[in-house]
Structure 1
Amino acid sequence: MHSSSTSGSRLCLNSLKSLPIKTLAFGTLILPFHSINASKTAYQFDNVVNTNKLVVVSVVNPTAVFDDSEHLHGFGYDLVRNYADSLNVKLEFKTVDDNATALKWVKQGKASFAMTTASIQTIEGKNLTSFSASCGETASLQKNGLNTDLNWVFKAANDPLSETASGFICRAKQSGTLQQLANFYNQNVIKEESWDSIQRDLNSRMPIYKASFQRTAQQYNLDWHLLAAIGYQESYLKPNSVSPTGVRGLMMLTNSTAKAMGVSNRTDPAQSIQGGAKYYDSMLDQFSDIPYPDRNWYALVAYNMGPGAVNQLQNRIKNQGKDPNKWVNLYAYLDSNKASNGRYRQAVQYVTRIRAYLEHIKTTPQLVNI
């Protein structure tokens, strides 16, 4: 486990104390470009300013980024996205197969920085500098099954880019953003012993409905794996499922939603998948001003709670002085209040489990190739 307070090439916040700062609503750090007095040395920070682009290279793993998807997501990826937003620059995110390649890109100046799980000895052996991507928040990462050795690696310790990044990470820790992101990307949300029965379910039922998921997803320009993940969360892919509240079918539609989506028989699996996809697509439209991957998570909460409930939550978040269109803020509100509100608890479990099922379906060859 590594902490940002470690000596050597590790960075700390001391270098930031003399710089004017302002804080975004979700607790991240912004340092205005004009406030940084860079020397004549060629810094990556200068490249970011001049190109208005942050180029980040990362290894693919459950902690850093989930890459086999239409829209990247992950604990590390979300941190990087928020850092780019805090600098008001575009993010160009690249993935590579191994840490050595990622470090080579930084050394050659092909990337602003790298996100890797390489050892500190390896990083320092390349004369590069790094700090913990969790600012020492190892307990939250460990509890959620995430790799505590995730590092951000830079070419030089005195580059203003690495200094602002260090400050950003530790402010995210102080604000609770790091912990909430770790909670959402929890790799232990489904118990290890449950995956065997889940896999048996998927092996036996997915072949029956895969074509319908694929055909319907193509119609609405959706990811069929995500539709299948929703279906599994809703009914375990059982078309005759019914709940005590009256929702029914493979995608568990209410009677009113089914009618609105043109579904005449909720227990018909093809109709249910069609209706569920159409409804999910309409939820995406409701939140079209929110970028991906956050829009997917908002749409899933709306699928579960209704779009009106999500709009109410957004208003409450806005009244708290936070950005209502940031997933980390919506998730934090739900997660922080779930003990006193059953609907919030259900929504948190709903979207987190669907994320886990999506990743499982996409990375299990026998499911993808059925």
Structure 2
Amino acid sequence: MHSSSTTGTRLGLNSFFHSRPFKIIVLTSALIIPFHSINASKTTQYSRVIHDNKLTVVSVTGTSTVFKNADFQHGFGYDLVRNYAQSLNVKLEFKTVSDNAAALKMVSQGKANFAMTTASLQQIEARHLSAFSATCGDFNSLQKNGLNTDLNWVFKKADDPLASTASGFICQSKQNGAIEQLASFYSRNTVKPEEWNTIQRDLKSRMPLYKASFKQNAQRYDIDWHLLAAIGYQESYLKPNSVSPTGVRGLMMLTNNTAQAMGVSNRSDPVQSIQGGAKYYDQMLSKYQYIPYPDRNWYALVAYNMGPNAVDNVQKRLKAQGKNPNQWINLYDYLNRNQSKNARFKQAVHYVTRIRAYLEHIKTSPKLVEI
């Protein structure tokens, strides 16, 4: 396959399809060719994926690709890959490796259908592989949100229908705004750089006091303790005596009614507050158990913040608009676009994006994890 100077480079829309002898062309950005329309007489990666009902993708963990949270994963790149697997109606087997070289090797050896990497073009060419931008050239959406513009999807053969359907899906995602929305949610600019020193200082001094309670209650409800800690920091900066103008109080900032329902008699008691917050968050997760992770976490967080009834109302509006109400990208986009009209929506967007940022920070900071 390494037959020209363009082989293995990150290919733009035109150069990708003109430099490769595609038997099946899926270039229109709004089109994904269904399996029944593809000649499956020749065994291809695409036909194997459909037959096995499994898409295997490999990546390196990172701010633009994927974060690991307990038993589930999230991230800009991961969400994009997951959405592609859903468009094929197959299961996603997502693997992570230590570096880009290992990811490319798995593709070369046929151990992964494709890789999501930020590998250099030289690395990709060296293995006679083919790649295209994971954003269909929408580098601006990544750049303005602090994400890596060198993110590529790398395939063993460019003329395999799997590569063409993937490219078509990516360009469709660019056209319908999905890439821009995902990049906005996973923005690295959610928390300003100058804020991190204060955040790190707060967490380092206060986390040791409450880590045991976070871990104990997280284990009880099968929740990642880092996430509970991130919720606590967003709610009160881990200050148990916090009180809001509306009367919510405590480390997890529970309303009086919620506290009573969760069995909390003293909202200012940090142990009780964490226990009540964990129980309430678990209830929100249960409410959205029909939504797969990681989306379920984001739905539960928004419900924790502005109430499940408010989330239900937004879901009804999305359904009325002909959009999937159970897909996070749609809920987030609705909240984000209507911030100026509804202060609760603005608060919810601020809430969930900052908790995501705190979660990733706590999870990837050795000093905090080891406390």
- What is the TM-score normalised by the length of structure 1? 0.94
1:4 aligns with 2:12: yes
CA contact (8 A) 1:132 1:149 kept: yes
Q: Do 1:31 and 1:87's aligned partners in 2 also have CA atoms closer than 8 Å? A: no
SS of 2:115 mapped into structure 1: strand
Structure 2, unaligned stretches of length 5 or more?
A: 1-8
Q: Deviations over 1:295-323 (max 9, x none)?
A: 00000000001001001111111111111
- Aligned residue pairs total 361
1:324 equivalent in structure 2: 325
Amino acid at match of 2:276: G
Q: Which residue pairs with 1:152 in the alignment?
A: 153
Query: Alignment partner of 2:350: what SS?
Result: helix
**Displacement of 1:258:** 0.6
Indicate the SS of the match to 1:95.
strand
Match of 1:194 in 2: 195
Cross-structure match for 1:26: none
Would the alpha carbon gap of residues 67 and 4 (structure 1) be closer, same or farther in structure 2, given more than 3 Å must change? farther
Looking at structure 1, the residues matched to 343 and 153 of structure 2 have their Cα atoms a distance apart, in angstroms, of 38
Of the structure 1 ranges 205-214 and 216-225, higher mean CA displacement relative to structure 2 is found in 216-225
1:58–1:95 contact (8 Å) kept in structure 2: yes
* Cα drift, residue 115 of structure 1: 0.3
- 3-state DSSP of counterpart to 1:302: helix
Instruction: Give the conservation status (yes or no) of the 8 Å contact 2:85–2:92.
Output: yes
Distance 1:30 1:320 in 2: 22
- Whether contact under 8 Å (1:305, 1:347) holds in the other structure is yes
Aligned twin of 2:6: none
**Whole-Å Cα distance in 2 between the matches of residues 17 and 64 of structure 1?**
25
Paired residues of 1:12 and 1:166 also in contact (CA < 8 A): no
Separation in 2, partners of 1:158, 1:2: 15
Decide whether the 8 Å contact of 2:236 with 2:250 is kept in 1: yes
Q: Secondary structure at the match of 2:193?
A: coil
Partners of 1:2 and 1:252 in 2: CA distance: 48
Structure 1's 145 and 94: CA in aligned 2 closer, same or farther, altered over 3 A?
Answer: same
1:341-356 to 2 correspondences below 5 Å: 341-356=342-357
CA deviations on 1:126-151 (whole Å, 9 max, x unpaired) are 11111100111111101111000000
Check if 1:15 corresponds to 2:25.
yes
Tell me whether 59-68 or 162-171 shows the greater mean CA deviation. Answer: 59-68
Deviation at 1:38, TM superposition (A): 4.6
CA separation of 1:67 and 1:96: change in aligned 2, threshold 3 A: same
In the alignment, structure 1 segments of 5+ residues that lack a partner are 24-28
Alignment partner, residue 338 of structure 1: 339
Aligned to 1:107: 108
Conserved 8 A contact 1:154-1:162: yes
Which amino acid is 1:213 matched to? F
Distance 2:20 2:95 in 1: 24
Distance in 2 (CA, whole Å) between partners of 1:132 and 1:141 is 11
| Counterparts of 1:69 and 1:200, CA distance in 2 | 25
Deviations 1:186-226 (A, max 9, x none): 11100111100000000110000001111111111111110
How far apart are residue 263 of structure 1 and its match? 0.7
User: How far is the alpha carbon of 1:69 from its aligned partner?
Assistant: 3.5
The structural deviation recorded for 1:273 is 0.4
- Quote the RMSD (CA, aligned, Å): 2.0
Amino acid at match of 1:363: T
Against the structure 1 CA distance between its residues 272 and 350, is the aligned structure 2 distance closer, same or farther, given a 3 Å change threshold? same
1:193 counterpart SS class: helix
Instruction: Specify the alignment match of 2:167 in structure 1.
Output: 166
Measure the CA separation in 2 of the matches of 1:174 and 1:11.
23
Distance 1:109 1:227, change over 3 A: same
